[in-house]
Structure 1
């Protein structure tokens, strides 16, 4: 356990550093979008391309991983919506809450952390879960969030929101970086020397800057959304993320293996650990854009990020 904490501590310490810097205004809140832009459009795509290009193509085409992870994600989204909808929390807030319950912080935190803990082979399954979350889970939840917009136009609004969500995915550089890395792996292609060194320098910057940015985003959300809120509005969703999500994947993955699905035990372990990660911080930005209660989403992300230092480390200790 101590060896695991020695690896996980620096990752969570960088999140705490970003939180403290923004909370104490050592980092101006106006600078946070710039950090996000650097990570999203430069550093993280280079990191994902590097991992993708150095991962065997078979690991990036593992349909067993995709099937188990997607099925569990859909079940969790449906369960979270059913359990949280009430007179105050309607489709918009319930759907974004469900997304934050099912969407782990695999890009900014998960891929580099799992590679540091379990080696380069962990990148393949983790990257596959990112694709499922970015393309399917997030698009579905965005579409469901529009069902509040009138009974007669609900379906039209849902379809329109789904189209816009897919356009957003197309504009996101991360899926393209993963695709480019997979093609480079398949063709055994390498970038020209100076270009590769430049891209790898950006890739090396991705993890520390992304983790620092997570903390800064959480601090900004807390500062901007400080209205009081009952624990029942956000704590159950945080528990779904940290406990129910990994347990569901472990149960479904184990059952699938017993039924003969060719799901590698190592890949299943990685996917369970991905699910044990805290909620993705970028859902807060999405909630703000869609008019959901961003204070609630920010609290879920903050609780899962703080608690995951213990729960994620415990999951690694139990599974490896």
Structure 2
């Protein structure tokens, strides 16, 4: 366990550093969107492209990984909605809560952390999970979040929701960087040396800046979400993310292997550890954009991130 903590501690320490910097106003809140933009549009796409272009295409296109992870994501969305929908939490808030329960922070945190723990071979599975979450799970939850306004509007409201979800997917640079990396791997494309060194330099900046930015975003969300809220509105969802999600992935994965699905044990281990990660911080941005209760979403992300330092480390110790 101590050896695992020695690896995971620096990653969570950087998140804490970003949180403290924003809370103590050493980092102005106005600077956080700039950090987020640097990570989202420059550093992280370069890192994902580098991993994608240097990973065999067969590892990136593992149908068993896609299938198992997608099924678990759909179950998590359904279960979370069934548990949380009530007179106060309607479809918009419920769908964003379901997304934050099913969407781990695999991009900003999972890629560098699992690469450090398990080696670069684990990254192909992480990128497959990122594609499922960004393209399918997010689109489904965005569409479900529009059901509150669909009453009396019928098909047009649902089509509008689908359009917004598709726009979000097509404008997300992380998805494109993974796909372009896969194409580069398939055709064995390499940039000219000066360009490649520039891309690799940006890729090296992704991990520390992304982790620091997570902490700053969490601090900003907490500072702006100052209205009171019962613990029952957000703590159960955070616990579902940290415990139910990985147990579900483990159970479905083992069941699939028993049925003859060619899912490799190493890939299943990575999928379970992905599910052990805290909720993705960018769901807070989606909640704000679609008018959901961002205070609730921010609390879920904050609780899951704080608790995952021990829960994720314990999972790594058990599974590796």
Q: TM-score, normalised on structure 1? A: 0.99
Show structure 2 runs of 5+ residues with no match.
none
**3-state SS of the aligned residue for 1:149?**
helix
* 8 A Cα contact 2:64 2:263, kept in partner: yes
Q: Does residue 170 of structure 2 align to residue 170 of structure 1?
A: yes
Q: Does residue 267 of structure 2 align to residue 234 of structure 1?
A: no
Determine the structure 2 residue equivalent to 1:47. 47
The runs of 4+ residues in structure 1 deviating greater than 2 Å are none
CA distance in 2, matches of 1:155, 1:286: 23
Determine the structure 2 residue equivalent to 1:56. 56
Show structure 1 runs of 5+ residues with no match.
none
CA distance in 2, matches of 1:7, 1:62: 28
CA distance in 2, matches of 1:158, 1:214: 32
CA distance in 2, matches of 1:33, 1:42: 13
Determine the structure 1 residue equivalent to 2:245. 245
CA distance in 1, matches of 2:158, 2:18: 36
Task: Give the superposition deviation at 1:151.
Answer: 1.8
* 8 A Cα contact 1:47 1:206, kept in partner: yes
* 8 A Cα contact 1:105 1:279, kept in partner: yes
Determine the structure 2 residue equivalent to 1:283. 283
Determine the structure 1 residue equivalent to 2:147. 147
CA deviations 1:33-72 (Å, max 9, x no partner) are 0001000000000000000011111110100000000001
CA distance in 2, matches of 1:180, 1:311: 34
Q: TM-score, normalised on structure 2? A: 0.99
Determine the structure 2 residue equivalent to 1:98. 98
Q: Does residue 2 of structure 2 align to residue 2 of structure 1?
A: yes
* 8 A Cα contact 1:246 1:272, kept in partner: yes
Q: Which moved more, 1:11-20 or 1:172-181?
A: 172-181
Determine the structure 1 residue equivalent to 2:259. 259
> Where does 1:77-96 land on structure 2 (aligned, <5 Å)?
77-96=77-96
Determine the structure 1 residue equivalent to 2:206. 206
> Where does 1:14-163 land on structure 2 (aligned, <5 Å)?
14-163=14-163
Task: Give the superposition deviation at 1:135.
Answer: 0.3
CA distance in 1, matches of 2:309, 2:157: 39
Task: Give the superposition deviation at 1:213.
Answer: 0.3
* 8 A Cα contact 1:77 1:102, kept in partner: yes
CA distance in 1, matches of 2:214, 2:151: 37
Task: Give the superposition deviation at 1:159.
Answer: 2.5
In the comparison of the two structures, how many residue pairs are matched? 320
* 8 A Cα contact 1:39 1:209, kept in partner: yes
**3-state SS of the aligned residue for 1:198?**
helix
* 8 A Cα contact 2:150 2:158, kept in partner: no
CA distance in 2, matches of 1:304, 1:154: 36
CA distance in 1, matches of 2:291, 2:218: 18
* 8 A Cα contact 1:145 1:158, kept in partner: no
CA distance in 2, matches of 1:217, 1:191: 34
RMSD over aligned CA atoms reads 0.7
